[in-house]
Structure 1
Amino acid sequence: MKKKDAILKVATVLFANKGFVDTSVHELSRLTGAAEGTIFYHFGNKEGLLLTILEHVREDIVAQFEEFLRERSFESGMKMVEEEVAFYLYLAGLKEDQFLLLHRHFPYKFAETGPEFRENLEAIYNCLADYFEKAIRTGQEDGSIGKDVHPRKSALILFTMVDGLVRFKNYNLYDAGALFNELIASCRRMLQAN
Protein backbone atom coordinates (compact mmCIF):
# COMPACT_ATOMS: atom_id res chain seq x y z
CA MET A 1 0.00 0.00 0.00
CA LYS A 2 1.37 3.40 -0.97
CA LYS A 3 1.97 5.97 1.77
CA LYS A 4 -0.69 8.26 0.35
CA ASP A 5 -3.29 5.44 0.44
CA ALA A 6 -2.25 4.50 3.98
CA ILE A 7 -2.62 8.13 5.09
CA LEU A 8 -6.12 8.31 3.55
CA LYS A 9 -7.21 5.05 5.16
CA VAL A 10 -5.97 5.92 8.65
CA ALA A 11 -7.21 9.53 8.42
CA THR A 12 -10.68 8.28 7.45
CA VAL A 13 -10.81 6.11 10.57
CA LEU A 14 -9.49 8.89 12.81
CA PHE A 15 -11.77 11.61 11.42
CA ALA A 16 -14.79 9.27 11.58
CA ASN A 17 -14.15 8.17 15.15
CA LYS A 18 -12.39 11.11 16.81
CA GLY A 19 -13.55 14.04 14.71
CA PHE A 20 -11.63 16.61 12.73
CA VAL A 21 -10.39 18.82 15.57
CA ASP A 22 -9.29 15.91 17.77
CA THR A 23 -7.27 14.27 14.99
CA SER A 24 -3.77 15.64 14.79
CA VAL A 25 -1.33 15.42 11.92
CA HIS A 26 1.25 14.26 14.48
CA GLU A 27 -0.96 11.27 15.42
CA LEU A 28 -1.61 10.51 11.77
CA SER A 29 2.14 10.63 11.13
CA ARG A 30 2.83 8.28 14.04
CA LEU A 31 0.19 5.74 12.97
CA THR A 32 1.13 5.69 9.28
CA GLY A 33 4.89 6.11 9.56
CA ALA A 34 4.68 9.02 7.11
CA ALA A 35 6.51 12.18 8.05
CA GLU A 36 4.28 15.18 8.77
CA GLY A 37 5.95 16.91 5.82
CA THR A 38 4.87 14.03 3.56
CA ILE A 39 1.27 14.44 4.69
CA PHE A 40 1.39 18.18 3.99
CA TYR A 41 3.12 17.54 0.66
CA HIS A 42 0.31 15.24 -0.53
CA PHE A 43 -2.67 17.14 0.90
CA GLY A 44 -1.57 20.68 1.76
CA ASN A 45 -3.33 20.74 5.13
CA LYS A 46 -5.92 18.82 7.17
CA GLU A 47 -8.78 20.40 5.20
CA GLY A 48 -7.17 19.22 1.96
CA LEU A 49 -6.86 15.75 3.44
CA LEU A 50 -10.55 15.73 4.43
CA LEU A 51 -11.56 16.92 0.97
CA THR A 52 -9.51 14.13 -0.65
CA ILE A 53 -11.16 11.61 1.67
CA LEU A 54 -14.63 12.83 0.66
CA GLU A 55 -13.68 12.50 -3.01
CA HIS A 56 -12.49 8.93 -2.38
CA VAL A 57 -15.63 8.09 -0.41
CA ARG A 58 -17.77 9.24 -3.33
CA GLU A 59 -15.70 7.29 -5.86
CA ASP A 60 -15.76 4.17 -3.70
CA ILE A 61 -19.52 4.25 -3.05
CA VAL A 62 -20.27 4.84 -6.74
CA ALA A 63 -17.92 2.02 -7.79
CA GLN A 64 -19.51 -0.39 -5.30
CA PHE A 65 -23.05 0.47 -6.42
CA GLU A 66 -22.14 0.28 -10.10
CA GLU A 67 -20.61 -3.17 -9.60
CA PHE A 68 -23.66 -4.31 -7.62
CA LEU A 69 -26.04 -3.14 -10.37
CA ARG A 70 -23.91 -4.52 -13.20
CA GLU A 71 -23.89 -8.02 -11.70
CA ARG A 72 -27.66 -8.29 -11.22
CA SER A 73 -30.87 -8.35 -13.14
CA PHE A 74 -34.07 -7.48 -11.34
CA GLU A 75 -37.51 -8.98 -11.94
CA SER A 76 -39.10 -5.56 -11.41
CA GLY A 77 -38.37 -1.99 -10.39
CA MET A 78 -39.85 -2.71 -6.95
CA LYS A 79 -37.42 -5.60 -6.48
CA MET A 80 -34.64 -3.30 -7.64
CA VAL A 81 -35.61 -0.78 -4.93
CA GLU A 82 -35.68 -3.52 -2.30
CA GLU A 83 -32.29 -4.89 -3.31
CA GLU A 84 -30.76 -1.40 -3.46
CA VAL A 85 -32.02 -0.73 0.06
CA ALA A 86 -30.49 -4.01 1.24
CA PHE A 87 -27.23 -3.26 -0.57
CA TYR A 88 -27.05 0.24 0.92
CA LEU A 89 -27.30 -1.25 4.41
CA TYR A 90 -24.72 -3.90 3.54
CA LEU A 91 -22.36 -1.30 2.10
CA ALA A 92 -22.75 0.94 5.15
CA GLY A 93 -21.68 -2.01 7.30
CA LEU A 94 -18.79 -2.84 5.02
CA LYS A 95 -17.61 0.78 4.83
CA GLU A 96 -18.58 1.73 8.37
CA ASP A 97 -15.89 4.40 8.84
CA GLN A 98 -16.77 6.10 5.56
CA PHE A 99 -20.46 6.27 6.46
CA LEU A 100 -19.69 7.35 10.02
CA LEU A 101 -17.57 10.17 8.57
CA LEU A 102 -20.53 11.26 6.43
CA HIS A 103 -22.66 11.40 9.58
CA ARG A 104 -20.27 13.64 11.48
CA HIS A 105 -21.06 17.34 11.76
CA PHE A 106 -17.73 18.84 10.71
CA PRO A 107 -17.89 18.07 6.94
CA TYR A 108 -21.12 20.09 6.78
CA LYS A 109 -19.57 22.97 8.70
CA PHE A 110 -16.81 23.08 6.06
CA ALA A 111 -19.50 22.92 3.35
CA GLU A 112 -21.06 26.15 4.66
CA THR A 113 -18.04 28.16 3.48
CA GLY A 114 -16.17 25.76 1.20
CA PRO A 115 -17.88 25.11 -2.14
CA GLU A 116 -15.63 22.12 -2.87
CA PHE A 117 -16.82 20.44 0.34
CA ARG A 118 -20.44 21.19 -0.50
CA GLU A 119 -20.01 19.86 -4.05
CA ASN A 120 -18.52 16.60 -2.79
CA LEU A 121 -21.19 16.04 -0.16
CA GLU A 122 -23.96 16.86 -2.66
CA ALA A 123 -22.39 14.51 -5.21
CA ILE A 124 -22.31 11.65 -2.69
CA TYR A 125 -25.95 12.06 -1.69
CA ASN A 126 -27.16 12.81 -5.22
CA CYS A 127 -25.59 9.66 -6.63
CA LEU A 128 -27.25 7.56 -3.93
CA ALA A 129 -30.63 9.20 -4.51
CA ASP A 130 -30.11 8.72 -8.26
CA TYR A 131 -29.88 4.94 -7.81
CA PHE A 132 -33.17 4.87 -5.92
CA GLU A 133 -34.79 7.18 -8.47
CA LYS A 134 -33.73 4.98 -11.38
CA ALA A 135 -35.24 1.94 -9.67
CA ILE A 136 -38.50 3.84 -9.06
CA ARG A 137 -38.69 4.92 -12.71
CA THR A 138 -37.99 1.32 -13.79
CA GLY A 139 -40.84 0.18 -11.55
CA GLN A 140 -43.18 2.76 -13.02
CA GLU A 141 -42.33 1.48 -16.50
CA ASP A 142 -42.95 -2.17 -15.57
CA GLY A 143 -46.03 -1.43 -13.43
CA SER A 144 -44.60 -2.59 -10.09
CA ILE A 145 -44.53 1.01 -8.78
CA GLY A 146 -47.42 3.44 -9.00
CA LYS A 147 -47.48 6.03 -11.76
CA ASP A 148 -48.58 8.65 -9.22
CA VAL A 149 -45.32 8.29 -7.23
CA HIS A 150 -42.95 11.24 -7.67
CA PRO A 151 -39.62 9.53 -8.53
CA ARG A 152 -37.15 12.09 -7.16
CA LYS A 153 -39.05 13.00 -4.00
CA SER A 154 -39.71 9.35 -3.24
CA ALA A 155 -36.06 8.50 -3.86
CA LEU A 156 -35.02 11.18 -1.38
CA ILE A 157 -37.48 9.86 1.21
CA LEU A 158 -36.21 6.29 0.67
CA PHE A 159 -32.64 7.47 1.02
CA THR A 160 -33.49 9.33 4.23
CA MET A 161 -35.16 6.26 5.74
CA VAL A 162 -32.29 3.93 4.86
CA ASP A 163 -29.60 6.38 5.92
CA GLY A 164 -31.46 6.94 9.19
CA LEU A 165 -31.11 3.23 9.96
CA VAL A 166 -27.41 3.46 9.19
CA ARG A 167 -27.12 6.32 11.70
CA PHE A 168 -28.92 4.21 14.32
CA LYS A 169 -26.40 1.42 13.74
CA ASN A 170 -23.32 3.64 13.60
CA TYR A 171 -24.19 5.40 16.84
CA ASN A 172 -25.35 2.18 18.52
CA LEU A 173 -28.80 3.66 19.15
CA TYR A 174 -30.84 0.74 17.90
CA ASP A 175 -30.38 -2.58 16.18
CA ALA A 176 -31.00 -1.49 12.59
CA GLY A 177 -31.20 -5.11 11.45
CA ALA A 178 -34.31 -5.59 13.58
CA LEU A 179 -36.08 -2.96 11.44
CA PHE A 180 -35.09 -4.32 8.02
CA ASN A 181 -38.33 -6.19 7.25
CA GLU A 182 -40.45 -3.23 8.35
CA LEU A 183 -38.29 -0.91 6.24
CA ILE A 184 -38.88 -3.03 3.13
CA ALA A 185 -42.62 -3.23 3.89
CA SER A 186 -42.73 0.57 4.30
CA CYS A 187 -40.94 1.03 0.97
CA ARG A 188 -43.49 -1.21 -0.76
CA ARG A 189 -46.44 0.63 0.79
CA MET A 190 -44.99 4.01 -0.16
CA LEU A 191 -44.37 3.02 -3.78
CA GLN A 192 -47.48 0.99 -4.58
CA ALA A 193 -50.11 2.35 -6.92
CA ASN A 194 -53.09 3.96 -5.20
Structure 2
Amino acid sequence: MTKMSKKKAAILQAATVLFANQGFADTSMQELSKVTGAAEGTIFYHFKNKEGLLLAILESTKNRLVEEFRNYMADREFKDGIEMMEDVVGFYLLLAGRMEYDFLLLHRLFLYHFAESRPEFRENLEDIYSCLVDFIELPILKGQEDGSIGDLNPRKTALIVFTMVDGLVRFKNFNLYDAGALYNELIESIRRMLQPIRGV
Protein backbone atom coordinates (compact mmCIF):
# COMPACT_ATOMS: atom_id res chain seq x y z
CA MET A 1 0.00 0.00 0.00
CA THR A 2 1.41 3.38 -1.00
CA LYS A 3 1.78 6.27 1.38
CA MET A 4 -1.08 8.12 -0.35
CA SER A 5 -3.41 5.12 -0.25
CA LYS A 6 -2.68 4.76 3.47
CA LYS A 7 -3.62 8.40 3.91
CA LYS A 8 -6.83 7.84 1.96
CA ALA A 9 -7.70 4.83 4.11
CA ALA A 10 -7.03 6.87 7.27
CA ILE A 11 -9.36 9.61 6.02
CA LEU A 12 -12.10 7.05 5.30
CA GLN A 13 -11.72 5.47 8.72
CA ALA A 14 -11.78 8.79 10.58
CA ALA A 15 -14.75 10.04 8.57
CA THR A 16 -16.67 6.84 9.30
CA VAL A 17 -16.24 7.38 13.04
CA LEU A 18 -17.14 11.08 12.88
CA PHE A 19 -20.19 10.61 10.63
CA ALA A 20 -21.40 7.67 12.74
CA ASN A 21 -21.03 9.52 16.04
CA GLN A 22 -21.87 13.10 15.11
CA GLY A 23 -23.89 12.82 11.92
CA PHE A 24 -23.14 14.16 8.47
CA ALA A 25 -24.18 17.80 8.88
CA ASP A 26 -22.33 18.20 12.19
CA THR A 27 -19.01 16.91 10.86
CA SER A 28 -16.89 19.52 9.12
CA MET A 29 -14.05 18.93 6.71
CA GLN A 30 -11.96 21.15 8.97
CA GLU A 31 -12.54 18.75 11.87
CA LEU A 32 -11.72 15.77 9.67
CA SER A 33 -8.54 17.50 8.59
CA LYS A 34 -7.57 18.07 12.21
CA VAL A 35 -8.28 14.46 13.23
CA THR A 36 -6.39 12.88 10.31
CA GLY A 37 -3.60 15.42 9.91
CA ALA A 38 -4.48 15.63 6.21
CA ALA A 39 -4.88 19.06 4.67
CA GLU A 40 -8.43 19.89 3.57
CA GLY A 41 -7.08 20.16 0.02
CA THR A 42 -5.83 16.56 0.24
CA ILE A 43 -9.26 15.38 1.38
CA PHE A 44 -10.97 17.23 -1.47
CA TYR A 45 -8.38 15.84 -3.90
CA HIS A 46 -9.34 12.28 -2.98
CA PHE A 47 -13.08 12.70 -2.51
CA LYS A 48 -14.10 15.99 -4.24
CA ASN A 49 -16.65 16.88 -1.53
CA LYS A 50 -18.27 15.60 1.66
CA GLU A 51 -20.94 13.65 -0.24
CA GLY A 52 -18.22 11.98 -2.30
CA LEU A 53 -16.48 11.00 0.93
CA LEU A 54 -19.69 9.47 2.29
CA LEU A 55 -20.20 7.49 -0.93
CA ALA A 56 -16.60 6.24 -0.73
CA ILE A 57 -17.29 5.06 2.83
CA LEU A 58 -20.35 3.11 1.67
CA GLU A 59 -18.38 1.49 -1.16
CA SER A 60 -15.55 0.62 1.21
CA THR A 61 -17.99 -0.82 3.74
CA LYS A 62 -19.62 -3.04 1.12
CA ASN A 63 -16.26 -4.29 -0.15
CA ARG A 64 -15.06 -5.08 3.35
CA LEU A 65 -18.28 -6.91 4.28
CA VAL A 66 -18.03 -9.08 1.16
CA GLU A 67 -14.34 -9.78 1.79
CA GLU A 68 -14.86 -10.59 5.48
CA PHE A 69 -17.72 -13.01 4.80
CA ARG A 70 -15.96 -14.72 1.91
CA ASN A 71 -12.78 -15.17 3.92
CA TYR A 72 -14.74 -16.50 6.88
CA MET A 73 -16.77 -18.97 4.84
CA ALA A 74 -13.88 -20.19 2.68
CA ASP A 75 -13.20 -23.90 3.17
CA ARG A 76 -15.74 -24.20 6.01
CA GLU A 77 -17.90 -27.29 6.03
CA PHE A 78 -21.27 -27.58 7.74
CA LYS A 79 -23.33 -30.59 8.78
CA ASP A 80 -26.47 -28.93 7.42
CA GLY A 81 -28.11 -25.61 6.64
CA ILE A 82 -29.17 -25.02 10.25
CA GLU A 83 -25.60 -25.35 11.49
CA MET A 84 -24.47 -23.02 8.71
CA MET A 85 -27.16 -20.48 9.66
CA GLU A 86 -26.04 -20.46 13.30
CA ASP A 87 -22.48 -19.90 12.14
CA VAL A 88 -23.45 -17.07 9.78
CA VAL A 89 -25.55 -15.34 12.46
CA GLY A 90 -22.71 -15.63 14.98
CA PHE A 91 -20.24 -14.21 12.49
CA TYR A 92 -22.60 -11.37 11.55
CA LEU A 93 -22.77 -10.31 15.21
CA LEU A 94 -19.00 -10.67 15.56
CA LEU A 95 -18.44 -8.59 12.44
CA ALA A 96 -20.86 -5.92 13.65
CA GLY A 97 -18.66 -5.57 16.72
CA ARG A 98 -15.47 -5.51 14.65
CA MET A 99 -16.96 -2.93 12.24
CA GLU A 100 -18.88 -1.07 14.92
CA TYR A 101 -18.74 2.39 13.34
CA ASP A 102 -19.64 1.11 9.86
CA PHE A 103 -22.78 -0.51 11.25
CA LEU A 104 -23.58 2.52 13.40
CA LEU A 105 -23.29 4.68 10.28
CA LEU A 106 -25.64 2.35 8.39
CA HIS A 107 -28.23 2.93 11.11
CA ARG A 108 -28.08 6.73 10.86
CA LEU A 109 -31.19 8.40 9.41
CA PHE A 110 -29.35 10.93 7.26
CA LEU A 111 -28.19 8.17 4.90
CA TYR A 112 -31.79 7.31 4.06
CA HIS A 113 -32.68 10.96 3.49
CA PHE A 114 -29.87 11.06 0.92
CA ALA A 115 -31.16 7.83 -0.61
CA GLU A 116 -34.62 9.35 -1.18
CA SER A 117 -33.30 11.89 -3.67
CA ARG A 118 -29.85 10.66 -4.70
CA PRO A 119 -29.80 7.42 -6.75
CA GLU A 120 -26.08 6.80 -6.05
CA PHE A 121 -26.75 6.66 -2.30
CA ARG A 122 -29.77 4.41 -2.76
CA GLU A 123 -27.77 2.04 -4.99
CA ASN A 124 -24.92 1.80 -2.49
CA LEU A 125 -27.26 1.11 0.43
CA GLU A 126 -29.19 -1.48 -1.59
CA ASP A 127 -25.90 -3.16 -2.55
CA ILE A 128 -24.80 -3.34 1.09
CA TYR A 129 -28.07 -4.79 2.34
CA SER A 130 -28.35 -7.16 -0.62
CA CYS A 131 -24.93 -8.65 0.08
CA LEU A 132 -25.76 -9.08 3.79
CA VAL A 133 -29.06 -10.79 2.98
CA ASP A 134 -27.28 -12.94 0.37
CA PHE A 135 -25.05 -14.39 3.08
CA ILE A 136 -28.09 -15.22 5.23
CA GLU A 137 -29.90 -16.76 2.26
CA LEU A 138 -27.07 -19.22 1.54
CA PRO A 139 -27.73 -21.44 4.59
CA ILE A 140 -31.47 -21.44 3.83
CA LEU A 141 -30.81 -22.75 0.32
CA LYS A 142 -28.37 -25.33 1.68
CA GLY A 143 -30.84 -26.39 4.37
CA GLN A 144 -33.62 -26.83 1.85
CA GLU A 145 -31.35 -29.12 -0.14
CA ASP A 146 -30.40 -31.24 2.87
CA GLY A 147 -33.86 -31.19 4.49
CA SER A 148 -32.91 -29.31 7.67
CA ILE A 149 -34.90 -26.23 6.65
CA GLY A 150 -38.53 -26.14 5.56
CA ASP A 151 -40.17 -25.13 2.30
CA LEU A 152 -40.00 -21.36 2.81
CA ASN A 153 -39.41 -18.52 0.39
CA PRO A 154 -35.60 -18.27 0.69
CA ARG A 155 -35.26 -14.54 0.01
CA LYS A 156 -38.16 -13.39 2.16
CA THR A 157 -37.07 -15.67 4.99
CA ALA A 158 -33.50 -14.35 4.73
CA LEU A 159 -34.87 -10.80 4.98
CA ILE A 160 -36.79 -11.70 8.15
CA VAL A 161 -33.73 -13.35 9.73
CA PHE A 162 -31.61 -10.35 8.72
CA THR A 163 -34.12 -8.01 10.39
CA MET A 164 -33.93 -10.01 13.62
CA VAL A 165 -30.14 -10.14 13.69
CA ASP A 166 -29.63 -6.52 12.63
CA GLY A 167 -32.17 -5.47 15.28
CA LEU A 168 -29.84 -6.89 17.93
CA VAL A 169 -26.96 -4.93 16.41
CA ARG A 170 -29.04 -1.74 16.68
CA PHE A 171 -29.81 -2.49 20.34
CA LYS A 172 -26.10 -2.84 21.03
CA ASN A 173 -24.99 0.19 19.00
CA PHE A 174 -27.49 2.49 20.66
CA ASN A 175 -26.83 1.02 24.12
CA LEU A 176 -30.47 0.03 24.56
CA TYR A 177 -29.98 -3.58 25.58
CA ASP A 178 -27.27 -6.16 26.04
CA ALA A 179 -27.55 -7.94 22.71
CA GLY A 180 -25.43 -10.84 23.97
CA ALA A 181 -28.10 -11.67 26.54
CA LEU A 182 -30.55 -12.42 23.70
CA TYR A 183 -28.22 -14.52 21.54
CA ASN A 184 -29.50 -17.95 22.62
CA GLU A 185 -33.12 -16.85 22.26
CA LEU A 186 -32.35 -15.43 18.82
CA ILE A 187 -30.83 -18.70 17.63
CA GLU A 188 -33.74 -20.72 19.06
CA SER A 189 -36.28 -18.44 17.36
CA ILE A 190 -34.48 -18.79 14.03
CA ARG A 191 -34.34 -22.57 14.44
CA ARG A 192 -38.10 -22.75 15.12
CA MET A 193 -38.88 -20.50 12.17
CA LEU A 194 -36.76 -22.53 9.74
CA GLN A 195 -37.55 -26.08 10.80
CA PRO A 196 -39.51 -28.26 8.39
CA ILE A 197 -43.14 -28.97 9.26
CA ARG A 198 -43.26 -32.66 10.14
CA GLY A 199 -46.10 -34.99 9.26
CA VAL A 200 -47.53 -32.89 6.45
Same fold by TM-score, threshold 0.5 exceeded?
A: yes
2:147 corresponds to which of 143, 146, 151: 143
Percent identical across equivalent pairs?
67
> Given residue 185 of structure 1, which amino acid in structure 2 is its aligned partner?
E
Instruction: Give distance in 2, aligned partners of 1:135 and 1:55.
Output: 25
Instruction: Give distance in 1, aligned partners of 2:25 and 2:193.
Output: 41
In the TM superposition, residue 164 of structure 1 has moved relative to its aligned partner by 0.2
2:136 corresponds to which of 127, 132, 136: 132
> Given residue 195 of structure 2, which amino acid in structure 1 is its aligned partner?
Q
2:173 corresponds to which of 170, 173, 178: 170
In the TM superposition, residue 185 of structure 1 has moved relative to its aligned partner by 0.2
Whether 2:182 is the aligned partner of 1:179: answer yes
The aligned residue for residue 18 of structure 1 is: 22
Total equivalences in the alignment: 193
The TM-score, its normalising length taken from structure 2, stands at: 0.95
In the TM superposition, residue 113 of structure 1 has moved relative to its aligned partner by 1.0
Whether 2:124 is the aligned partner of 1:116: answer no
In the TM superposition, residue 3 of structure 1 has moved relative to its aligned partner by 1.4
SS in 1 for 2:148: coil
Give a deviation string over 1:112-137, Cα, whole Å, max 9, x none: 11111111100110011111111101
Give a deviation string over 1:35-75, Cα, whole Å, max 9, x none: 11111111010000000000000000110001111041111
In the TM superposition, residue 86 of structure 1 has moved relative to its aligned partner by 0.5
> Given residue 171 of structure 1, which amino acid in structure 2 is its aligned partner?
F
> Given residue 19 of structure 1, which amino acid in structure 2 is its aligned partner?
G
Deviates more, 1:175-184 or 1:32-41: 32-41
Whether 2:68 is the aligned partner of 1:64: answer yes
Instruction: Give distance in 2, aligned partners of 1:71 and 1:64.
Output: 14
The aligned residue for residue 53 of structure 2 is: 49
> Given residue 163 of structure 1, which amino acid in structure 2 is its aligned partner?
D
The TM-score, its normalising length taken from structure 1, stands at: 0.98
Question: Where in structure 1 do 4 or more consecutive aligned residues deviate above 3 Å?
Answer: none
Gaps of 5+ in 1: none
In the TM superposition, residue 4 of structure 1 has moved relative to its aligned partner by 0.9
Give a deviation string over 1:126-172, Cα, whole Å, max 9, x none: 011111111101000001101x2111110000000000000000000
Give a deviation string over 1:57-102, Cα, whole Å, max 9, x none: 0000110001111041111011111110010000000110000000
The aligned residue for residue 73 of structure 1 is: 77
Whether 2:197 is the aligned partner of 1:155: answer no
2:103 corresponds to which of 82, 99, 103: 99
Whether 2:8 is the aligned partner of 1:4: answer yes
SS in 2 for 1:149: coil
Instruction: Give distance in 1, aligned partners of 2:196 and 2:75.
Output: 29
